[in-house]
């Protein structure tokens, strides 16, 4: 990747890459300088913890913990190591940076700038090949992010799990709290404020029976019925759970939903977005009948994939409109 391309993408592209790859559980870094001494043996380190990167104030990464290290650190993102100059231009904040064992995170290491070798600084490289691949795949999204918000909102199908309707003394049901955890296939590029979500509830058939019939192209069970479509508008970005709790002044150690498993320090549902209700349609309708209809087949296809594979699915405006029109003339 040339410096010119990097200038276009700028450092925020790395922020997006770091956040996305960490959420996927595959983020890794390569130490190239240790205590201002070159590291000659290549050895990658997995990132175990990463605070969401929300601004470019020095240091860019406020907290990061690498595999095999007991304490979290901070990091500053640069294109090359030689661009780092805080030891000359921001003495006090640089001292804080070194106190926290901060390191420089670069796309390509060239050399330590003059004077930095006295501070026993560490330098890590990104997986450059993976970063380039990710940027190519997400180029349109990165471009749209650079020039502003998406021009059009998107519409998503999500399935109402138990947490949507059940609560207890510690946590309200999502239909009341208006917060939900996105499925793993959604990132901040996909789900954004002003998008709409159709939270769908069905009954009458198991995941296994629907999936088996769907894969064999024999339609869906006669017993499978639509129960409710809860239409909501997304009103926040996707937050890391810790950041969400900090913003809302909530106890990070308390559950956000009734079924909210936690292992050691890690919550199973570790991301949060907020929504506001728009309309709610309760009506028992045969999904088999809708599956066989040209008007609503695409909607049922999305519901099947969401229900069986636990992944959110996008539908277009036409599908959304036809679905609501089929529900006894309910408008959007």
* CATH architecture designation of domain 155-326: Roll (3.10)
Q: How far is the C-alpha of 279 from the C-alpha of 231, rounded, in Å? A: 5
**The pLDDT of residue 215 is above 80:** no
Spell out the alpha helix ranges (H) of the chain.
3-24, 86-89, 91-99, 128-137, 139-147, 162-165, 174-177, 207-215, 241-247, 287-291, 297-309, 317-326
State both tokens at 84: 């780092």
Q: What is the DSSP string of 106-138?
A: EEE---PPTTGGGG--EEEEE-HHHHHHHHHHT
Confidence of residue 65 (pLDDT cuts 50, 70, 90): very high
pLDDT at 332: 40
**The pLDDT of residue 53 is above 90:** no
Q: Other C-beta atoms within 10 Å of 105: how many?
A: 24
pLDDT at 151: 57
**The pLDDT of residue 1 is above 60:** no
**The pLDDT of residue 119 is above 60:** yes
What per-residue string of b and e applies to 140-154 under the rule 16 or more CB within 10 Å gives b? ebbeebeeeeeeeeb
Confidence of residue 105 (pLDDT cuts 50, 70, 90): very high
More confident residue, 254 or 151: 254
Q: Which of 230, 1, 221 is nearest to 125 (CA)?
A: 1
**Tens of pLDDT, residues 137-189:** 877 666 555 544 555 788 999 999 899 999 998 899 999 999 999 987 787 77
Could you give the residue range(s) of every CATH 3.10.590.10 domain in the chain? 155-326
More confident residue, 213 or 65: 65
**The pLDDT of residue 258 is above 90:** yes
pLDDT at 219: 67
Mean pLDDT of 22-26: 89
**Most trustworthy range by pLDDT among 66-70, 267-271, 289-293:** 66-70
Confidence of residue 11 (pLDDT cuts 50, 70, 90): low
State both tokens at 278: 């728009």
**The pLDDT of residue 54 is above 90:** no
Q: Which helix (H) or strand (E) holds 196?
A: strand 196-203
**Tens of pLDDT, residues 29-42:** 999 999 988 898 88
Q: State what percent of residues in the chain have pLDDT above 90.
A: 36
**The pLDDT of residue 5 is above 80:** no
More confident residue, 268 or 200: 200
Mean pLDDT of 63-68: 93
What percent of the chain is helix, strand and coil (3-state, nearest 5)?
35, 25, 40
**Tens of pLDDT, residues 233-248:** 999 988 888 888 888 8
Q: Which of 7, 45, 9 is nearest to 26 (CA)?
A: 45
Dihedrals φ, ψ of 278, to 5°? -110, -65
Is there a contact between 160 and 199 (Cβ–Cβ < 8 Å)? Answer: yes
Mean pLDDT of 279-283: 89
**Most trustworthy range by pLDDT among 44-48, 106-110, 144-148, 298-302:** 44-48
Token match 């300088």: residue? Answer: 33
pLDDT at 143: 58
> Could you say which DSSP state residue 83 is in?
G
**Most trustworthy range by pLDDT among 53-57, 80-84, 134-138, 140-144:** 80-84
> Could you say which DSSP state residue 238 is in?
P
pLDDT at 331: 40
Q: How far is the C-alpha of 274 from the C-alpha of 236, rounded, in Å? A: 5
pLDDT at 229: 93
Q: Which of 115, 84, 106 is nearest to 32 (CA)?
A: 106
* pTM exceeds 0.85 for this model: no
Q: How far is the C-alpha of 157 from the C-alpha of 52, rounded, in Å? A: 26
């Amino acid at each position: 990747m040339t410096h010119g391309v990097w200038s276009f993408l700028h450092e925020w592209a790395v922020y997006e890459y770091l956040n996305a790859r960490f959420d996927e559980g595959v983020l890794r870094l390569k130490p190239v300088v240790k205590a201002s001494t070159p590291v000659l043996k290549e050895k990658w380190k997995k990132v175990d913890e990463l605070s969401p990167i929300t601004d470019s104030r020095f240091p860019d990464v406020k907290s990061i913990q690498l595999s095999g290290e007991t304490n979290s650190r901070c990091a500053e993102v640069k294109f090359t190591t030689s661009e780092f100059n805080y030891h000359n231009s921001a003495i006090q904040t640089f001292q804080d940076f070194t106190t926290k064992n901060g390191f420089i995170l670069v796309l390509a290491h060239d050399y330590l700038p003059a004077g930095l070798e006295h501070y026993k600084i560490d330098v890590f490289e990104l997986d450059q090949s993976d970063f380039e691949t990710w940027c190519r795949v997400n180029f349109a999204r990165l471009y749209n992010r650079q020039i502003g918000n998406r021009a059009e909102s998107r519409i998503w199908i999500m399935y109402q799990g138990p947490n949507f309707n059940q609560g207890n003394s510690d946590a309200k049901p999502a239909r009341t709290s208006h917060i939900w955890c996105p499925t793993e296939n959604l990132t901040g590029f996909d789900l954004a404020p002003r998008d709409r979500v159709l939270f769908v509830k069905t009954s009458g058939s198991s995941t296994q029976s629907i999936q088996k019939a769907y894969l064999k192209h024999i339609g869906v069970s006669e017993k499978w019925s639509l129960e409710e479509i809860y239409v909501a508008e997304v009103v926040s970005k996707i937050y890391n759970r810790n950041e969400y709790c900090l913003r809302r002044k909530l106890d990070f150690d308390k559950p956000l939903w009734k079924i909210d498993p936690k292992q050691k320090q890690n919550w199973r549902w570790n991301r949060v977005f907020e929504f506001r209700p728009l309309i709610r349609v309760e009506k028992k309708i045969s999904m088999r009948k809708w599956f066989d209809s040209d008007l609503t087949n695409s909607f049922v296809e999305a519901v099947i994939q969401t229900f069986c594979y636990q992944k959110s699915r996008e539908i277009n405006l036409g599908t959304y409109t036809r679905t609501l029109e089929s529900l006894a003339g309910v408008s959007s």
